[in-house]
């Protein structure tokens, strides 16, 4: 499928959130404010750490983002779970981009490590998800490792991110 796009701007991501990008009943991204990136800068079915495909995205950090005032008052940081959710969101997007049918759901992750925080002084977050395997059966399952960089420094790492696409009604966290 050489004609597939390899990058997506914010309007494309909003179209995905509405269900317009991959079609009704297929992978969708959450709408803002739960959409945790502003653009997908690169996506490929080959390459990445395991040479099974990858996706890269960016999120512009602004001090007035919704989560800073409440997490934590006087010590604002982006909740780590939002960075992890972004990796699940990207994993589900990748499966939809491959043309796989079904609604997405985050299923699990292996190990998550945090060694830094996203604060209002950070300008840009970068995400990377490197695929280990895509299984195609009754459930399409993507298995990948992901990372988050804050202003170029890797501060999150997640292994064995698992997202499934099901043709049945989703029962987990939608992606």
Backbone torsions φ then ψ of 3, nearest 5 degrees = -90, 0
71 is catalytic: yes
Name the catalytic one among 38, 49, 52, 71: 71
Distance, in Å, from the CA atom of 22 to the CA atom of 160, rounded to the nearest integer, reads 25
User: Using CA atoms, how far apart are residues 129 and 31, in angstroms rounded to an integer?
Assistant: 20
Tell me the CA distances in angstroms from 65 to 29, 76, 148, 158, one per residue in order.
Answer: 19, 10, 18, 24
Cβ(31)–Cβ(105) under 8 Å? Answer: no
**Which of helix, strand or coil describes residue 14?**
helix
Beta bridge mates, 143: 133, 162
Q: Which residues are catalytic?
A: 71
């Amino acid at each position: 499928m050489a004609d597939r796009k390899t990058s997506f701007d914010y309007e494309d991501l909003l179209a995905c959130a509405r269900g317009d990008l991959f079609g009704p009943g297929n992978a969708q991204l959450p709408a803002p404010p739960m959409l945790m990136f502003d653009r997908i800068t690169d996506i490929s079915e080959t390459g990445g750490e395991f040479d099974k495909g990858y996706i890269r995205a960016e999120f512009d950090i602004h001090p007035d983002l919704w989560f800073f005032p409440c997490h934590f008052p006087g010590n604002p940081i982006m909740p780590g779970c939002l960075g992890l959710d972004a990796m699940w969101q990207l994993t589900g997007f990748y499966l939809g981009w491959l043309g796989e049918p079904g609604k997405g759901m985050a299923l699990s992750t292996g190990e998550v490590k945090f060694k830094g925080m996203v604060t209002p002084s950070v300008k840009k977050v970068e995400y990377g998800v490197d695929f280990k395997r895509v299984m195609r059966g009754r459930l399409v399952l993507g298995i990948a490792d992901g990372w988050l960089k804050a202003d170029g420094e890797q501060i999150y790492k997640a292994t064995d991110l698992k997202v499934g696409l099901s043709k049945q009604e989703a029962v987990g966290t939608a992606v």
